[in-house]
Amino acid sequence: MRRPLVMLRAGLAAALPGEPVLRTGHVLAVSSLVNAGLGFFFWTFATHWYDERTVGLSYSALMASLLLTGVGQLNLNDFLVRFVPTAGRRSRRLVLACYAASTAFSVVVALAFLALVPVVSPGLDFLLTPVTATCFVVATAGYAVFILQDGALTAVRMPGWVVGENLIFAVVKILLLALGAALGLFSGILLSWAGALVVSLIVANSVLMGRGIPRHERETRAAPPPPRMLGYAAADYLGSLFRVAAYTVVPLIVLNTIGAEQSAYFSVAWGVAYVPYLIARNMGTSLLAESVRGPGRLVQHSLRVLRHSGLLLGGVTVVIVVAAPQILSLFGASYAAEGSTLLRLLALSALPNLLLSVAIDVARARRRLRWAVGLQAAMCVLVLGLTRLLLPEFGVVGAGVAWLVTQCVIAVFLAVSWSRWLVPVTEGSP
């Protein structure tokens, strides 16, 4: 058994690029593809085992949970990626402090949301039963730590375990979904997420705390704590709130504007189209982590990430655009009929998003947080405003148009202002 695993690991190592920024980025991209592939099966099963209304309500509830996770985890994932690589023997304390802060705040915001459900989203009133409310809070707090552990694993150069944790989460989630369907549970989708998160967190953090952080603390010399770390965290958190809102509020707008069934169609299409968004995000995370270790190579790393990611995203986007009806038909004929055009628009929007993603991480590496916050705020305002404007006229396709127009407008701005954010400069200390 051990020999095949060694051979598989050696084969993967040979196939991946030698440059750390690309190697880590590719491993994280593989993690996203694995998670998306198994997530595809998850939602395929969900659409066959539950009706459209249940799928739409459950997905909207999960998007609300992810929105609250984005608020509650305080964007400490990127904080860990930025500061753990040079933390040395302070690494464990830094990770545990971030875990504690994000868990506590996520529980608070989840409970506050549940209290406000009758006012802000009456369609989600099924969350107010004791079982579903508990699962919702667990899913929100658990996913906050799940995101943070990705950052910690990346920071200590264990991206392979990001793949592992996502694999565990996806497989357990499908198994629990089947159990919930067999028992006829209306909240089976939400229950499966909460349970799978608990299992994944236990396994991944055993590896992180038992192997990853001790090795990192032995091998890394601690640099003096950078100045104004809390100011960095606060500004980066503000920017992340805009990004998370853009990603997670749209399904709620669709639900409240044109109904649960249309929300289901949007949700499935977004779940597929979000794969290239995740690839760009993961390559940016790798760029940030490696640029902290070698600030003088930031521009070089950025250009390499743009070049390699552009080719990868181009291929993925072509596949999605060409095969959109066939992909969505696996969820059911109604999903293919209602969502194919939407899926194509969302997939195309991922290409200009790559430029936005890299620009944000370059700003983080250089601690130019006003620039990063401004870009994410612009994306949020444009996509939410256009979605609300276009839904009544174009239906669910209007949300796809809103995403494509938003990303193209920002990409054109970044291309025109290239000299403001991606030019060789004297890099500061990490």
375-395: pLDDT as tens digits? 999 999 999 999 999 999 999
Of 55-59, 202-206, 298-302, 362-366, give the range with the top mean pLDDT. Answer: 202-206
Per-residue pLDDT band at 424 (split at 50, 70, 90): low
pLDDT at 6: 46
pLDDT at 118: 87
Of 45 and 2, the structure prediction assigns the larger pLDDT to 45
pLDDT at 8: 39
One-letter identity of residue 84: V
CB half-sphere exposure, 276, CA atoms < 13 A: 28
Per-residue pLDDT band at 410 (split at 50, 70, 90): very high
Distances (CA, A) of 136 to 46, 131, 209, 383, 389: 18, 9, 27, 26, 30
pLDDT tens per residue, range 180-199: 887 766 678 888 888 898 99
How many whole angstroms separate alpha carbon 155 and alpha carbon 213?
10
pLDDT at 72: 86
One-letter identity of residue 406: T
Of 3-17, 90-104, 252-266, give the range with the top mean pLDDT. Answer: 90-104
Q: What is the pTM of this model?
A: 0.68
How many whole angstroms separate alpha carbon 120 and alpha carbon 81?
34
Q: State the average pLDDT over residues 338-358.
A: 93
pLDDT at 380: 95
pLDDT at 361: 85
Q: State the average pLDDT over residues 297-322.
A: 84
Per-residue pLDDT band at 4 (split at 50, 70, 90): very low
How many whole angstroms separate alpha carbon 28 and alpha carbon 308?
14
One-letter identity of residue 138: V
User: How high does pLDDT run on average in the chain?
Assistant: 82
Per-residue pLDDT band at 15 (split at 50, 70, 90): very low
How many whole angstroms separate alpha carbon 340 and alpha carbon 261?
15
Q: State the average pLDDT over residues 87-107.
A: 90
Of 309 and 323, the structure prediction assigns the larger pLDDT to 323
Of 277-291, 352-366, 382-396, give the range with the top mean pLDDT. Answer: 382-396
Per-residue pLDDT band at 11 (split at 50, 70, 90): very low
Of 348 and 417, the structure prediction assigns the larger pLDDT to 348
pLDDT at 18: 52
How many whole angstroms separate alpha carbon 193 and alpha carbon 139?
7
How many whole angstroms separate alpha carbon 174 and alpha carbon 2?
27
SS (H, E, C) the chain: CHHHHHHHHHHHHHHCCCCHHHHHHHHHHHHHHHHHHHHHHHHHHHHHHCCHHHHHHHHHHHHHHHHHHHHHCCCHHHHHHHHHHHCHHHHHHHHHHHHHHHHHHHHHHHHHHHHHHHHHCHHHHHHHCHHHHHHHHHHHHHHHHHHHHHHHHHHCCCCHHHHHHHHHHHHHHHHHHHHHHHCCCCCHHHHHHHHHHHHHHHHHHHHHHHHHHHHHHHHCCCCCCCCCHHHHHHHHHHHHHHHHHHHHHHHHHHHHHHCHHHHHHHHHHHHHHHHHHHHHHHHHHHHHHHHHHCHHHHHHHHHHHHHHHHHHHHHHHHHHHHHHHHHHHCCCHHHHHHHHHHHHHHHHHHHHHHHHHHHHHHHHHCCCHHHHHHHHHHHHHHHHHHHHHHHHHHCCHHHHHHHHHHHHHHHHHHHHCHHHHCCCCCCCCC
Vertex 111 angle, CA 201 and 244, to 5°: 65
pLDDT at 205: 92
pLDDT tens per residue, range 20-56: 666 666 676 666 667 667 777 887 888 888 777 778 7
pLDDT at 21: 61
pLDDT tens per residue, range 107-143: 999 999 999 988 877 878 888 888 888 888 988 998 8
pLDDT at 26: 63
Distances (CA, A) of 64 to 46, 60, 132, 180, 202: 18, 6, 13, 21, 24
Other CB atoms within 10 Å distance of the CB of residue 24: 25
How many whole angstroms separate alpha carbon 383 and alpha carbon 345?
13
How many whole angstroms separate alpha carbon 172 and alpha carbon 192?
8
